[in-house]
């Protein structure tokens, strides 16, 4: 796996975070970013006895602002219990700046950072998998598990943070269960993607 002094690794998982079972206004990730719950007071539900966060597709999202610029590699272990048309499950800190988002037709999704890549149709509804997205301008791609990557130009936007469960401005929420998110400030090679996918698959039993 490629790591260097210039590569930052962000990790968000409910497995070790008691905050998800309280009414606290914030939720702290494993490496210290503080995620603010949306201003309606709703909060993602931690599934009791299991390290998963459930976003209801109506009002739930978590958000943190921190420096997060291209290139970026995202790994999300998740399933969509129902398909939220045009819903965002990953975004930056403002609306639709760096996004992984559903499309109008199930099971389609794409990635966007100022420009949309090709549509990926490989993630079955209500099925856990590892979703991988490389955000690196014209060399961007999305991939589901061991399926073929869908490549394209995602644009040049930077994320400026991370929103989970909706767009960065709080619109377009998504019904999604998430076990783990890894974000790396590097355009991971195919070999590194396979290593991280294999690790997540072994830990979570995703396909």
Contact 97, 159 (CB under 8 A): yes
CB 165 within 8 A of CB 61: yes
pLDDT at 4: 45
* Whole-structure pTM value: 0.87
Q: What is the model's pLDDT at position 62? A: 86
Stated as kind and residue range, the H or E segment containing 63 is strand 62-65
Residue 43's alpha-carbon distances to 53, 60, 82, 147, in angstroms, are 10, 5, 18, 33
Q: What is the pLDDT of residues 162-187, one digit of tens each?
A: 999 999 998 999 999 988 899 999 99
- 10-residue stretch averages of pLDDT, the chain, 207 residues long: 56 57 54 64 61 81 89 95 93 88 95 95 91 97 95 96 91 91 93 94 83
C-alpha–C-alpha distance, residues 64 and 118, integer Å? 28
CA distance 33 to 64: 7
Cα atoms in the Cβ-side hemisphere of radius 13 Å centred on 117: 32
User: Can you say whether the dihedral through the CA atoms of 136, 139, 140, 142 is positive or negative?
Assistant: negative
pLDDT score for 119: 96
Sheet hosting strand 34-37, strand order edge to edge: 26-28, 34-37, 62-65, 161-164, 88-91, 99-102, 109-112
Model pLDDT, residue 95: 77
Q: Rounded to the nearest 5°, which phi and psi values hold at 160?
A: 70, 15
């Amino acid at each position: 796996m490629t790591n260097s002094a210039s590569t930052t690794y962000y990790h968000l998982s409910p497995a070790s975070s008691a905050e998800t079972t309280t009414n606290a206004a914030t939720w702290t990730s494993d490496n210290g970013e503080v995620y603010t719950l949306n201003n309606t007071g709703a909060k993602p539900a931690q599934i009791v006895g299991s390290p998963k966060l459930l976003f209801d597709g109506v009002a739930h999202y978590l958000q943190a602002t921190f420096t997060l610029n291209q290139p970026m590699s995202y790994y999300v272990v998740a399933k969509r219990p129902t398909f939220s048309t045009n819903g965002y499950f990953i975004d930056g800190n403002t609306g639709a700046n760096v996004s992984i988002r559903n499309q109008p037709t199930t099971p389609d999704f794409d990635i966007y950072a100022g420009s949309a890549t090709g549509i990926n149709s490989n993630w079955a509804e209500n099925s856990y998998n590892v979703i991988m997205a490389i955000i690196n301008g014209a060399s961007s791609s999305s991939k589901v598990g061991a399926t073929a990557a869908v490549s394209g130009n995602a644009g040049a936007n930077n994320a400026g943070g991370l929103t989970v469960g909706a767009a960065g401005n709080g619109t377009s929420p998504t019904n999604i269960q998430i076990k783990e998110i890894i974000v790396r400030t590097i355009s991971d090679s195919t070999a590194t993607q396979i290593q991280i996918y294999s690790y997540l698959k072994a830990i979570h039993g995703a396909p």
